Amino acid sequence: MHDRGQHADIFTYSSLLDALFSMKQHDKALMLFNQMKESGIDPNIYTYSILIDGLCKNGRLKNAKEIFQDLSIKGYRPDVKTYTIMINGLCKEGLLHEALAFLSKMEDNGCLPNAVTYEIIIRALFERGDNDNAEKLLREMISRGLLQG
């Protein structure tokens, strides 16, 4: 693209980031992300979601948490998808207390969890044997109309 005089935009960079993370090339993806910012292209919430998801799936949870925190500093409001990606990453690492804290923070920030968000945490709680909290969240999910009782 560059050789043909075509400039990459946010959609091109986001697609390339997604592809690199899919190929488990997280170092190259991070380099591309930095290159994107150096080129003067500001990431949007969609780009940040790709970045956070890719980092979580590649075991770079610390980096993902830093990027997530960076969202607030830059004035972005994480959406349900972005919160759910972080919650999923935390659950996969067995950090259920942090996942539950993210769920609470999500609601405090006016972002309501969806069925997928609840399912991820409920499944992780059941796998850990924390049936009481899993059932509590399941009841909450039903009361919100996200699951038929």
pLDDT computed for residue 138 by the predictor: 93
Closest-CA residue to 113 (of 89, 148, 78): 78
Residues 36 and 86 in one domain: no
Residues 65 and 43 in one domain: yes
Model confidence over 90-119: pLDDT tens digits? 999 999 999 999 999 999 999 999 999 999
Residues 67 and 84 in one domain: no
Domain end call among 25, 57, 76: 76
CA 43 to chain centre: 15
Please answer whether residues 107 and 113 qualify as being in contact, where contact means their C-beta atoms are separated by less than 8 angstroms: yes
Residues 104 and 67 in one domain: no
Residues 147 and 92 in one domain: yes
Residues 4 and 52 in one domain: yes
We report the CATH number of the domain holding residue 6 as: 1.25.40.10
Q: Inform me whether the pLDDT recorded for 1 exceeds 70.
A: no
Residues 50 and 100 in one domain: no
Using DSSP's 3-state secondary structure scheme, residue 148 falls into coil
Domain that holds residue 98: 79-149
Domain end call among 76, 104, 137: 76
Model confidence over 21-40: pLDDT tens digits? 999 999 999 999 999 999 99
Closest-CA residue to 8 (of 77, 16, 82): 16
Using DSSP's 3-state secondary structure scheme, residue 9 falls into coil
Domain end call among 46, 76, 106: 76
Residues 58 and 69 in one domain: yes
pLDDT computed for residue 51 by the predictor: 95
